[in-house]
Amino acid sequence: MESIVDGSVDELPPHCGQIRASTERLLGVVDDLLALSRIRAGDSGPEPREVVLDDLVSDEVAELGALADENGIRLRAEVVEQVLVRVDGRMTRVLNELLSNGIRCSPAGAVVSVGVRASGGQAVVSVADECGGILELDLGSVFEASPGLVIAREIVRAHDGGISVRNVPGGCRFEVRLPLPQEAGTTSRRPAR
């Protein structure tokens, strides 16, 4: 091991790559557990700020473009209107989780779409994929199925919002609903650019 660290070994044994990948996965699990623990302990996270929701969505779509390309998936953003929300930096993790799950679970050639709109005093982000859907029996426990979805649900709840999933033809649709900030009794909306 010391030879590897000090660089005196020209070629690493083949299993070193597997060890590194396993270590990175394990670190990811530990990070997820720590994040969940902080959320459940009432850690409010970074200071919330008012942001245009479709800007957050656009950033995540751009960040996940390479993953989508690798999997033969087309990402499509549908912004009905610009919607202002008051969120902290953890909301990007929610968007990343939903989009990356859609990419990983859909077959090559599929479309994963994300939409942003305001409805009933709430900002709504929907992520639809072509994964084939989720067994009706499993729909009720989908947010317990993976650490990423558990964390996404808890982050949304920490923002006084809700998250749900339902089957749609050929796949499923996740929806995140967040309260719109109130300014002198009006909701914050702007027409789409």
Q: Find out whether 59 and 116 touch, Cβ atoms under 8 Å.
A: no
Q: What is the pLDDT of residue 52?
A: 94
Mean pLDDT by runs of 10 across the 193 residues of the chain is: 57 67 60 61 71 93 96 92 91 95 97 95 96 92 90 92 97 97 52 48
Q: Is the dihedral of CA 27, 30, 34, 35 positive or negative?
A: positive
Q: Same domain for 67 and 105? A: yes
b/e string for 123-155 if b means 16 or more Cβ within 10 A? bbbbbbbbbebbeeeeeeebbeeebbbbbbbbb
| pLDDT at position 191 | 46
**Same domain, residue pair 97 and 27:** no
Closest to 112 in 3D by CA, of 173, 42, 38: 173
Write down the pTM of the prediction: 0.76
User: Using N-to-C axis directions, what is the helix angle for 91-105 and 53-63, rounded to 10°?
Assistant: 50
Query: Based on the domain organization, do 72 and 9 belong to the same domain?
Result: no
Same domain, 184 and 102: yes
Regarding whether 83 and 23 lie in a shared domain, the answer is no
Q: Supply the pLDDT for residue 147.
A: 87
Number of domain units in the chain:
2
CA 29 to chain centre: 16
Structural domain boundaries, residue 31: 2-40
Residues 148 and 183 in one domain: yes
How many residues appear in the chain? 193
